[in-house]
Amino acid sequence: MRKMLTLLVAFLLTGALAAQQYEFTQVVNNPYTELKNQGRTGTCWCFATLSFLESELIRMEKGTFDLSEMFVVRGVYKTRFFDNYLRRGRGNLGPGSLSHTTTRAIAKYGLMPESLYGGINYDSPGHNHTELQGFINAIAEVPIKVRRLSPQTVLLLDALLDIYLGEAPETFTYEGTEHTPLSFVDYLGLDMDNYVEITSYTHHPFYKQVPIEVPDNWEHTLYYNVPLDEFMSIANHALNNGYTIAWDGSLSRNFSQENGVAVEPGRDPSKDEINVDQEIRQEMYQTFQSGDDHLMHVTGIARDQYGVTYYITKNSWGEAGKHKGFVYMSENYFKARCVAYMVHKDAIPKAIRKKLGL
């Protein structure tokens, strides 16, 4: 019965979103690269963060690049396999991760162009890691049982990744120059230390680096914690000054890719949105209404015909929905559902940077 009621509410809300005639005017929209489709994988964290870094390269006047998500994902599969072993099988072996997982993997393993590492070495029109994940889970049990991560286990994992994603070359040629994956990062001019993650929760002190207690933070990375007004001012300052952000949060029933909009109404969807403040945001986090379901790339700001602010959000589900892969996310939805976002530290207003010691 509960499931039927939930489905009914979701249907009514989706209908309300479809019935609402939104007219959006873009205030600012920063350059972005082509939309992609993560397919049947849990790798939105990589698609969103690489899209964000591709926009960074455009901002830095380095050119337009199409970076390989699956090269990064391959390295992360290896990292989390070892992490799960050290945690005696209690690690997060599943596909979910966060933006810092991408930047850490880039610092460790490097990058490759998509054209040289597509990451589909199996019979599928798009990415599908269902079978691959099953084999990884099965292999991971053995070294834990024998209490030893043997060289043969490492070779077996590499062979499995080769079979599904393709062999990762030690060197490759790009536009006539030979690179390693790590030297390619240097060639691009990307410094992973320039990127920080911002959050806003009251159970941790503000202006400190704090943990976020979500399952996908398996690397126990610390985030910069600021009050909600500064959380939003950083995002707005970045977007209004040529930067974009990698958004991490939850997709509630009020998120509609089909209708291209995400809002945060009260119990009656025909009424205006709730006004999300710090207390409401905290309550939603602590009652598990917001979490790290999905990552996307926010490229700009828009307003509807009533002057309500929305964030232009690039998803990784291909050109789906009314806005061909993009969703207009309301300011209140952002406040309520965004657990954290990644941004270049130079995009943070100087006064706030000083408080954070950046």
Distance in angstroms (rounded) separating the CA atoms of residues 152 and 140:
12
- In this structure, the dihedral spanned by the alpha carbons of residues 315, 317, 319 and 321, taken in order and rounded to 10 degrees, is -80
Q: Is the pLDDT of residue 17 over 80?
A: no
Q: Is the pLDDT of residue 320 over 90?
A: yes
Question: CA geometry: angle at 125 spanning 110 and 297, to 5°?
Answer: 50
Determine contact, residues 335/276, Cβ cutoff 8 Å.
yes
Instruction: Give percent of the chain with pLDDT exceeding 70.
Output: 93
| Mean pLDDT, all residues of the chain | 92
pLDDT digits (tens, 9 = 90+) for 230-265: 999 999 999 999 999 999 999 988 999 999 999 998
pLDDT of res. 16:
53
Band of pLDDT at residue 280, cut at 50, 70 and 90: very high
Query: Could you give all domains of the chain from N- to C-terminal order, each with its CATH number?
Result: 12-36+192-356 (3.90.70.10), 64-188 (3.90.70.10)
pLDDT of res. 266:
77
For the chain, how big is the Rg over CA atoms in Å?
21
Q: Is the pLDDT of residue 1 over 60?
A: no
**Angular region, 250: left φ>0, alpha ψ -120 to 50, beta rest:** beta
pLDDT of res. 267:
62
pLDDT of res. 168:
95
pLDDT of res. 85:
94
pLDDT digits (tens, 9 = 90+) for 22-64: 999 999 999 999 999 999 999 999 999 999 999 999 999 999 9
Q: Is the pLDDT of residue 339 over 80?
A: yes
Among the ranges given (90-99, 194-203, 234-243, 326-335), the one the predictor scored with the smallest mean pLDDT: 90-99
Mean pLDDT of 102-126: 96
pLDDT of res. 18:
53
Band of pLDDT at residue 7, cut at 50, 70 and 90: very low
